[in-house]
Amino acid sequence: MPSANKVTTPVAIDEPIIEGRYAELDDYTVAFETYPTDIDPAEYFAGLPDDRCTCTHWGVVLSGQITFRWADHEETYVAGDAYVAKPGHLPLIAGGTEVVEFSPTSDLGEVQKVIGANMERMATR
């Protein structure tokens, strides 16, 4: 059975707003993400349908707090909480938050392309 560990998974994203480590496990990607400061990353989702994340995520908050915002409601999770974030959400993340999250690799890849392009565009402003 495939597995991943934060310590042995290489850093793929190392930005002031996020450290991300990602490992593929069959058709899913496990993400080990740490957010050192408060962030509303809504602008990074611009260009996706309704400018919102189109991927489902299953996760656990190890520390901090994450809020998922849909058009009609919000759900907030804190350390120790497990969650499912269905498509159509935007995250709002408190500084010091660390999550482990599982997502379908193909769906996540499409979202990450858009986020990456937006991060590059914003860095050149």
d(C-alpha 6, C-alpha 81), whole Å: 19
Tell me the residue type at 62.
Answer: L
Give the span between the Cα atoms of 77 and 23, in whole angstroms: 23
Inside any domain, residue 110: yes
- Does the residue 100 lie in any domain? yes
Total number of domains constituting the chain: 1
Which residue is it, tokens 């919000």?
Answer: 74
Whether the model clears a pTM of 0.85, i.e. scores above it, the answer is yes
State which residues of the chain have pLDDT below 50. Answer: none
Whether 46 is covered by a domain: the verdict is no
Q: Residues 58-90: pLDDT tens digits?
A: 999 999 999 999 999 999 999 999 999 999 999
Q: Which range marks the domain in which residue 61 is found?
A: 21-34+54-78+93-125
